[in-house]
């Protein structure tokens, strides 16, 4: 079988907030790419025989002590290299170039002019708007390199050693604020690295189905279906590979969005014909959560009940050797990054921590995929839009959006308000595109209002809607005032017990996307 990952791009991470974006942009251009730590072992780096390397940016300065260095594998490789920002400075330094702090930092949009002919800028206008974010600069091209472009602030906004196929750009072609960035990356992939365009949802499905069959053989697989996109697509993919030997368990913990439980049963059992066991565990979850208000205690309680309920079901189902999970690539990249910095901001809950007597082998068919790829795969597998385009929903569900005492009545209030917000966003075309995550949060705070000449004293609901590319940083969505007005009026009129609606205008950082 042809290896889909062969001949792609290895992205080497020097700690930039945009590293994942680089890998995504490469894949959007139809070429497989994978992210490696800058100190990854050399064998690992070339395991898929990459056609080229991209070096990410990073927060360090190349002249600092202990600054991350170029991997040794690169010095020995004759494959093309593109260094971005810090990556460019590392390439330059390795060839004897001098990088020093710049008198004025360059952050934000800048215009570069490229004069020298080079495959990197082939077909592009000579003046380009790009996104800069750097404090250091390279004064002159190092031996072997030419300056390909300059900006007001950077005499070397792009450099190239055409003989050795090594290029560097001081700006960030991977961000949307560099409008021609994708064209520059495309030149690097196809003109310089001679990559083949072979990474697509269809190609991935064919490959994944074959791999699942090879791994699972005639055995059976168990999947915890959450209703979210990742586990839904993992389920549909495994079902395509092994049909009825897949059993899905769906735990209704009572913390789901409006109609979510019914929708999961309808789609997976009736439309897709999958084996689905739906467990109603609302009482167990609510009683474990009773009296808890501290966010991490809620998460821990939910994780524990989930494992208990799921284990109980798994014990009834004999002879199952494999457990499938909807782990996706950012989970892998982020947990690797986490292990270094070891800082937990929020403990994310998944099916980890199953008791020792339940020993499963894992099947994780989406562990190489980004969220947008997961959606494309789901659509290609025929999953309905309502599932494919569901916005991300945290494992602990509404428990971390219902602040204060968790009661069924308050959860119902939150669900109704959230459904109004979501349906208005959908009608305005802002659910699939335009916002990355939008939801309602119920506060344990009452305020005074006046409704129909009567004083009211009810709870406050907050609307949260963010735009983001990677969920690591986010901005609050600039929703139209008319839309906010309509949502607010409908919630106050239609949902008893809420008399005030607020809109959250905090970005991440310093806020997080969720409130708990």
Give the residues lining the site for ligand XMP (CB under 6 A). 299, 346, 348-349, 392, 394-396, 437, 471, 508, 512-514
- Kindly name the residue from 34, 85, 193, 253 that is annotated as catalytic: 85
Residue with tokens 């979850």: 285
- Kindly name the residue from 48, 114, 156, 174 that is annotated as catalytic: 174
Reading across the β-sheet that carries 127-138, which strands appear in turn?
33-37, 9-13, 52-55, 81-84, 166-169, 158-161, 146-150, 99-114, 127-138
Cα(236)–Cα(208) distance, rounded to whole angstroms? 12
Question: Is-catalytic flag, 248?
Answer: no
Helical ranges in 124-242 per DSSP H = 181-186, 201-216, 229-242
Residue pair 227/263 in contact (Cβ under 8 Å)? The answer is yes
Residue pair 134/61 in contact (Cβ under 8 Å)? The answer is no
Tell me the CA distances in angstroms from 513 to 159, 167, 328, 400, 426, one per residue in order.
Answer: 39, 37, 19, 11, 20
C-beta closer to ligand XMP: residue 113 or 512 = 512
Cα(392)–Cα(370) distance, rounded to whole angstroms? 13
Name the DSSP class of 163.
T
Question: Is-catalytic flag, 134?
Answer: no
Tell me the CA distances in angstroms from 244 to 42, 179, 501, one per residue in order.
Answer: 42, 47, 47
SS3 call for 90: helix
- Kindly name the residue from 172, 239, 253, 349 that is annotated as catalytic: 172
Tell me the CA distances in angstroms from 194 to 6, 27, 119, 379, one per residue in order.
Answer: 13, 15, 12, 30
Least distance from ligand XMP to the Cβ atom of residue 436, Å = 8
Least distance from ligand XMP to the Cβ atom of residue 157, Å = 34
C-beta closer to ligand XMP: residue 82 or 369 = 369
- Where would I find the beta strands (DSSP E) of 368-415? none
Query: 65-68 contacts: CB < 8 A, separation 24 or more?
Result: 68/14, 68/15, 68/38, 68/39
**486-492-498 Cα angle (round to 5):** 140
Question: Is-catalytic flag, 174?
Answer: yes
C-beta closer to ligand XMP: residue 263 or 507 = 507
The sign of the dihedral angle between the CA atoms of 106, 109, 113, 117 is: positive
Least distance from ligand XMP to the Cβ atom of residue 251, Å = 14
Closest CA to 85 of 158, 12, 34: 158
Least distance from ligand XMP to the Cβ atom of residue 476, Å = 12
3-state SS string for 409-442: HHHHHHHHHHHHHHHHHHHCCCCCCCCCEEEEEE
Least distance from ligand XMP to the Cβ atom of residue 446, Å = 25
Residue 467, burial from CB neighbour count under 10 angstroms (0-12, 13-18, 19+):
middle
Cα(331)–Cα(337) distance, rounded to whole angstroms? 10
- Both structure tokens of 473: 């940083």
Residue pair 474/452 in contact (Cβ under 8 Å)? The answer is no
Catalytic residues: 85, 172, 174
């Amino acid at each position: 079988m042809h290896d889909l990952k062969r001949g792609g791009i290895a992205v080497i991470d020097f700690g930039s907030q945009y590293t994942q974006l680089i890998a995504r942009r490469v894949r959007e251009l139809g070429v497989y790419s994978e992210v490696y730590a800058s100190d990854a072992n050399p064998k690992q780096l070339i395991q898929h025989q990459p056609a080229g390397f991209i070096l990410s940016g990073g927060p360090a300065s190349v002249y600092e002590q202990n600054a991350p260095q170029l991997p040794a594998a690169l010095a020995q490789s004759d494959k093309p290299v593109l260094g971005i920002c810090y990556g460019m400075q590392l390439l330059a330094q390795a060839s004897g170039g001098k990088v020093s702090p710049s008198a004025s930092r360059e952050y934000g949009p800048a215009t570069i002019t490229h004069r020298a002919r080079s495959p990197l800028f082939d077909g592009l206008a000579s003046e380009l708007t790009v996104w800069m974010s750097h404090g250091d600069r390279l004064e002159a091209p190092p031996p072997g390199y030419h300056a390909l472009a300059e900006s007001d602030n950077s005499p070397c906004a792009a450099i190239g050693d055409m003989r050795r196929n090594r290029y560097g750009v001081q700006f960030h072609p991977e961000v949307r604020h560099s409008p021609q960035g994708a064209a520059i990356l495309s030149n690097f992939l196809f003109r310089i690295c001679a990559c083949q365009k072979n990474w697509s949802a269809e190609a991935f499905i064919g490959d994944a189905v074959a791999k699942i069959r090879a791994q699972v053989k005639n055995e059976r697989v168990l999947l915890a279906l959450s209703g979210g996109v990742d586990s839904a697509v993992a389920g549909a993919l495994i079902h395509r590979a092994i049909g009825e030997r897949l059993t899905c368990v769906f735990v209704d913990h009572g913390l789901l969005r409006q109609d979510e439980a019914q929708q999961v049963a309808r789609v997976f059992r009736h439309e897709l014909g999958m084996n689905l066991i739906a467990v109603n565990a609302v009482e167990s979850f609510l009683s474990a959560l009773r009296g808890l208000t501290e966010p991490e205690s809620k998460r821990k309680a939910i994780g524990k009940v989930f494992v208990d309920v799921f284990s109980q079901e798994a014990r009834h189902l004999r002879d199952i050797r494999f457990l499938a999970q909807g782990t996706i690539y950012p989970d892998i990249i982020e947990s690797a990054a986490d292990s270094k910095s070891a800082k937990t901001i929020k403990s994310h809950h998944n099916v980890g921590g199953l008791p020792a007597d339940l020993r499963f082998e894992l099947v994780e068919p989406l562990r190489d995929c980004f969220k947008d790829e997961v959606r494309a795969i789901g659509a290609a597998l025929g999953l309905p839009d309502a599932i494919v385009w569901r916005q991300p929903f945290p494992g602990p569900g509404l428990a971390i959006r219902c602040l204060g005492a968790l009661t069924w009545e308050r959860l119902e209030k939150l669900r109704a308000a959230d459904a109004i917000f979501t349906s208005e966003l959908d009608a305005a075309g802002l659910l699939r595109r335009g916002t990355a995550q939008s939801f309602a949060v119920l506060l344990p705070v009452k305020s005074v209002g006046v409704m129909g000449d009567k004083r009211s004293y009810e709870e406050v609901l907050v609307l949260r809607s963010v735009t983001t590319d990677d969920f690591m940083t986010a901005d609050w969505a600039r929703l139209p005032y008319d839309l906010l007005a309509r949502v607010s009026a409908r919630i106050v009129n239609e949902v008893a017990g809420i008399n005030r609606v607020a809109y959250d205008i905090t970005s991440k950082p310093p806020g997080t996307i969720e409130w708990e």
